[in-house]
Structure 1
Amino acid sequence: MILGEYVLRDLFPDLDEDQYQPAGIDLKLDRVFRLEGRGALLEGDDKRLPEYREVETEGGVFELEPNVPYVLELAPELEIPEDTAVLFLPRSTLLRSGVSVHTALGDPGFRGKIRVLAVNHHAAPYRIAHGERVVQAVFLRAEDAGRYEGDYGR
């Protein structure tokens, strides 16, 4: 079952009014990082992320160069309830503009900043302002779920 706007208003009462949607909440762009160097996902728990270099804004606007992967850090930080999982979906304006957003599942009990991968597939740079809504979080009830025990939350 997808949690609707009125349930989400109770769970997340401190959001801006424009972040509440009928079937989710919008997350806003906070920081942008460019990936540098090597990463690895090897046997067992041997995983190494590439280095993240923060991209500075120009007058509060980030510029995404064509065909470069960027990590977008979103606001607000989320605390996902233990009986809920979250699907993160791109806002359609980005897709219509040639910018893909790649996401993962938010597990029950995850607490922390949400980061997604974005790639500008257009031939020209794409500009996006700090604080713009870029991802919609859709919350689903997860029956008999375990709790997030990963490396990326707090």
Structure 2
Amino acid sequence: MGEHVLRELFPDLDENQYQPAGIDLKLDRVFRLEGQGALLEGDDKRLPEYREVETESGVFELEPNVPYVLELAPELEVPEDTAALFLPRSTLLRSGVSVHTALGDPGFRGKIRVLAVNHHTAPYRVARGERVVQVVFLRAEDTGRYEGNYGR
């Protein structure tokens, strides 16, 4: 979907969040993973604990080789005839920070969380409110609706 359609679907974004083929999502909160997670037989999923990283200045420091979960804003609602692909902004990649994402299924509604790892030898600083991920929407015909545990 292009910018003009996205402006109609998501009218309340900041002007700089609209891109020609997607919208940018902003960093809201950062979490460190603690404890063990598991994906076992069937639908037995156990996420590790998330510990929120606090910042007084609004700037987060991502230490090298530590996985972080980034929570993005705004909350997103994927239209029911659409799938969402989440892609890292190139500034992060050019700085050695990878962002790992998953597909946004039709009908998903909620906060988007992605995994980020700083592969550089020095800490990477990123401020709350910075655009870190672009979401691209693709029409998906004859789809089901998201019924998972991670949306609202």
Quickly name the TM-score band, shorter chain normalised.
over 0.9
Return the offset for 1:127: 0.3
Return the offset for 1:136: 0.2
Alignment of structure 1 residues 130-145 onto 2, 5 Å: 130-145=128-143
The answer to which of 26-35 and 52-61 deviates more is 52-61
CA–CA distance in structure 2, aligned partners of residues 132 and 61 of structure 1: 10
Aligned residues: 152
CA–CA distance in structure 1, aligned partners of residues 6 and 42 of structure 2: 37
2:70 alignment partner, SS class: strand
Q: Deviation digits for residues 11-53 of structure 1, max 9, x if unmatched?
A: 0000000000000000000000000000000001111000000
CA–CA distance in structure 2, aligned partners of residues 23 and 125 of structure 1: 31
Q: Structure 2, unaligned stretches of length 5 or more?
A: none
Return the offset for 1:8: 0.2
CA–CA distance in structure 2, aligned partners of residues 58 and 20 of structure 1: 29
Given the alignment, which residue of 5, 8, 27 partners 2:6?
8
Measured on the aligned residues, the alpha-carbon RMSD in Å equals 0.5
Alignment of structure 1 residues 10-25 onto 2, 5 Å: 10-25=8-23
TM-score, L = length of structure 1: 0.98
Alignment of structure 1 residues 1-154 onto 2, 5 Å: 3-154=1-152
Q: Deviation digits for residues 99-127 of structure 1, max 9, x if unmatched?
A: 00000000000000000000000001000
Runs of 4+ in 1 over 2 A off after TM superposition: none
Q: Deviation digits for residues 44-97 of structure 1, max 9, x if unmatched?
A: 111100000000124110000000000000000001100000000000000000
CA–CA distance in structure 2, aligned partners of residues 53 and 80 of structure 1: 27
TM-score, L = length of structure 2: 0.99
CA–CA distance in structure 2, aligned partners of residues 58 and 138 of structure 1: 32
The answer to which of 103-112 and 54-63 deviates more is 54-63
The answer to which of 80-89 and 50-59 deviates more is 50-59
The answer to which of 50-59 and 127-136 deviates more is 50-59
